[in-house]
Structure 1
Amino acid sequence: MKRAAIAIGMVLGAVWAVAIVLLPLRLGLPFVPPALAIPAAFLIPGIVMAMMIGVLAARRFFNADLIDGSAAITGTRVDIDERVLLNTVEQMVLALLIWPFIGFNLGGVSILALGVGMAVARLIYWVGYHVSPPLRSLGFAASFYPTLFGAFWAVWIWIN
């Protein structure tokens, strides 16, 4: 059952990735210079990440056992929030390294779509992890796959 839920999340994440990367290219949206779009693209996922940090800080502040920075008990809400935040940092670092290349090859609108998509996917990941850990697969895939697919598509455009 867990593997099926994870596999469904991965497939839906792949569909999401193709839509996030290709749809902005097909809609004929106005040109946005990559130099303007790149910083803006990180704003919304940055706000989501700030929310994660704030919620985690509040959980620690109001827990006498954790206020001094002690390790959270595995499976608790604090532990899950820490895992979500760590994975979000990993995803954002990857995005910081790859999205500029995507933006300069596919255009600024593509980067803006990646930013909005990342924010939504990270929220899905966060909620999914709290509901049932296998449900986080959709949020993970919808965060990770668009960056990879966008990079491959940008390389394809760049070399052709």
Structure 2
Amino acid sequence: MSSDQKSVLAGMVAAAVFSVAFFEVVFRMTDIGLNPHVAIGISIRLEYALKCEVFAALCMLAGVAKIANRRFFIPEAIEGAPAPSIEIDQRYLQNTMEQLVLALVAHLALVTIVAPESIRAVAVLVMLFVIGRITFWFGYHRSGPARAFGFGATFYPTVAVYAFLLFRMS
């Protein structure tokens, strides 16, 4: 394995461990005060999830704003020409859009099948998403391998939700 591959592997393992620990600690420390014996309608569940997702979408909004700002101040970029100085931000934005779509579908499906007191899992997952996107973006500006933690902290929780959903739907 190359040193870059070892760095990526270390970042991905750290992200997996961090994600599990963060989810467990924050989920157990929070309570949204719902009686587990009271039914909550699907519209309220989806409303809750969509309100949480606004924070995940802010990661994409930040990427669009950063690129727009950079394009304004780079003469060749204002014409739409490729600009190496915004290439990482464009890659961040593309990856964030991909990750957001996957997470959004997973989170919306999740709130429809969990117990009422567990819908707060979406808020915790969105926190992980935001942490993952921030560390991905900053890491990417350091080096390619340094984005591994942020990618993992964004991607692994989403994969875990899909695995949970498939298990529950089978």
Q: TM-score, with normalisation over the residues of structure 2?
A: 0.82
Corresponding residue for 2:87? 79
Query: What is the rounded CA distance, in whole Å, between the counterparts of 2:92 and 2:5 in structure 1?
Result: 20
Residue number in structure 1 paired with 2:9 = 7
Q: How many residues align?
A: 156
Structure 1 residues 27 and 154: alpha-carbon distance in aligned structure 2, compared to 1, 3 A threshold: farther
Equivalent residue in structure 1 for 2:78, among 54, 62, 67? 67
- Identity of matched residues, %: 29
Q: Is the 8 A contact 1:18 1:149 kept in 2?
A: no
The RMSD of aligned alpha carbons is 2.1
- Tell me which structure has the larger Cα radius of gyration: 2
Residues 2-151 of structure 1: pairs in structure 2 closer than 5 A: 2-23=4-25, 26-27=28-29, 29-30=31-32, 31=34, 34-72=45-83, 76-106=84-114, 107-151=118-162
Alpha-carbon deviations, 1:109-147, whole Å to 9, x = none? 000111111111101000000011101010001001001
Gaps of 5+ in 1: none
Structure 1 pair 20/153, CA: closer, same or farther in 2 (3 Å)? farther
Question: Which of the pair has the greater relative contact order for Cα pairs under 8 Å at 6+ separation?
Answer: 1
Change (3 A) 1:90 1:69: same
